Amino acid sequence: MNLVNVADYRIKGINYYWKRREKFNLSEDELRSVGVQGNNALVDEILIPKLKEANQIFKQHGYEIIVKDAYRSPELYQLVKDKRYEIEGKESTDKTFNPIRMPHASGRVVDINLVSLGSGEEVEMWDKKDWPDGAFINCYQGKPDSRSKEFQRLQDLMVSTMVSLGFKLGLKNECWHFEYKV
């Protein structure tokens, strides 16, 4: 695995846990001790052409991607699991966090969102009041209101684009989580 920073390839990216240190009660020192060196999204270099291709497709629809989480060391998984269990509880944490399989430790897994090319702002992919269910594929399927239809459209666009490029949805079916196997 050759980890690279997506920003070095003109792809937007952040480190989810660095960006949300306060929310998860994580210090910079704790994060550095498990390999996080700042607000960077690191991926295996093999993903870069696929992420660039995804950006080209999304740009046709008025969006680009932001990689919100990528490589996580096994030590980071353990640290985050402990912190999230304290804050959110085991049941809530386990719905969207997999400390056993540790898919992000491969460097070939990304959590992404869309950014509007018009506003430069991240796009809401689900209603925050629906957390965590709104983050799962098809939560909004068949709902009649326009907001739910838009969430479903955006999630479908993201999933179909990433799957067309060889990514697979993770086992938990989160609309943002994509795994690449060579």
Count CB-CB contacts under 10 A for residue 58. Answer: 20
Q: How far apart are CA 137 and CA 53, in angstroms?
A: 23
One pLDDT digit (tens) per residue for the chain, 182 residues? 999 999 999 999 999 999 999 999 999 999 999 999 899 999 999 999 999 999 999 999 999 999 999 999 999 989 988 998 988 888 887 777 767 788 899 999 999 999 999 999 999 999 888 888 888 888 899 999 999 999 999 999 999 999 999 999 987 888 999 999 87
CATH of residue 73's domain is 3.30.1380.10
Q: How many domains does the structure of the chain reveal?
A: 1
Q: Which two tokens stand for residue 33?
A: 């001790």
Model-wide pTM > 0.85: yes
Q: How far apart are CA 139 and CA 45, in angstroms?
A: 33
Domain range for 48: 3-180
